[in-house]
């Protein structure tokens, strides 16, 4: 099973806002939804999915285990709690959200627990998020690269994360890009604006198409139905080699997410 190329992110969306976003997205044709324990919106996402009427087997639901639940005796119970909130008996993909701070819980322990969760049918696949090359090496040693469905990392035109991407892809680990639009920063970039004009597209469509053309999955979020609908069209936009080369030159190592409490020592 592969991670869908295009899905809906729900980071920072809560209450009725996330319910409306998920409902609108599902009405428009989205079928992959990404949430996390720390987002504190799993119950609302579950409600929106239930009220949408979309059959469970048509959906790809991802959630992420928070660092306080990494210990072997906590991980599976916390996943079961997420399942209750999401009103489902399984996830399609469960991710370790951030590395364990100061290696408090060994990689082998929490990935071993996720492998057990997969064997119990609680999740179809599992993977990691915000893992560096060294952490991916530990993960591969613990459960094998074939069991790591994806590494979800910050990737956008201003932070292209080449070393991590190359290592992951060399070992058959899929990349999911989060924050692909860089909180909207790249949408004003003159290069991306010009490419968008050439294709009669929006800067957001260009940026999302760029990431998908590199083989990554994307999970953009929006509270506006019009933007949700517009973003979908990135799936049918094909950029030229020249477009891709121009965007490649925008890389400046500009990282937007690095919370001190959980961030690892990033690969430069």
73 sits in which H/E element: helix 72-86
- Out of 11, 30, 39, 216, the active site residue is 39
Output the CA–CA distances (angstroms, integers) from residue 28 to 10, 25, 208, in the order listed: 16, 5, 17
In the chain, beta strands by DSSP E: 8-9, 32-34, 60-65, 91-96, 123-129, 150-154, 174-178, 217-218
In 46-119, beta strands by DSSP E: 60-65, 91-96
Q: Is 199 annotated as a binding residue?
A: no
Catalytic site residue 178? no
Closest to 92 measured CA to CA, from 101, 84, 105, 83:
83
Alpha-carbon span 88 to 200, nearest angstrom: 40
Is residue 214 classed exposed, middle or buried when 0-12, 13-18 and 19+ CB atoms within 10 A define those classes? middle
Is residue 264 classed exposed, middle or buried when 0-12, 13-18 and 19+ CB atoms within 10 A define those classes? middle
Catalytic (active-site) positions? 39
Q: Which residues line the annotated binding site for substrate?
A: 97
């Amino acid at each position: 099973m592969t991670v869908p190329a295009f899905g809906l992110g729900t980071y920072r969306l809560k209450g009725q806002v996330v319910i409306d976003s998920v409902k609108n997205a599902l009405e428009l044709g989205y079928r992959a939804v990404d949430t996390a324990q720390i987002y504190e919106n799993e119950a609302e996402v579950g409600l929106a999915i239930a009220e949408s009427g979309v059959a469970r087997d048509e959906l790809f639901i991802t959630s992420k285990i928070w660092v306080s639940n990494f210990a072997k005796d906590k991980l599976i119970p916390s996943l079961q709690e997420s399942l209750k909130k999401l009103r489902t008996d399984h996830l399609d993909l469960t991710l370790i959200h951030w590395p364990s701070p100061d290696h408090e819980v060994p990689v082998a322990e929490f990935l071993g627990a996720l492998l057990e969760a997969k064997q119990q049918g609680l999740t179809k696949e599992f993977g990691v998020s915000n893992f560096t090359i060294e952490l991916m090496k530990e993960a591969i040693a613990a459960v094998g690269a074939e069991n790591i469905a994806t590494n979800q990392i910050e990737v956008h035109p201003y932070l292209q994360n080449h070393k991590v991407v190359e290592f992951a892809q060399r070992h058959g680990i899929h990349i999911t890009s989060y924050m692909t639009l860089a909180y909207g920063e790249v949408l004003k970039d003159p290069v991306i604006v010009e490419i968008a004009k050439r294709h009669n597209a929006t800067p957001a469509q260009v940026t999302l198409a760029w990431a998908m053309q590199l083989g990554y999955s994307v999970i953009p979020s929006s509270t506006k139905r019009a933007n949700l609908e517009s973003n979908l069209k990135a799936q049918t936009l094909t950029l030229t080699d020249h477009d891709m080369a121009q965007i490649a030159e925008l890389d400046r190592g500009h990282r937007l997410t690095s919370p001190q409490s959980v961030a690892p020592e990033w690969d430069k």
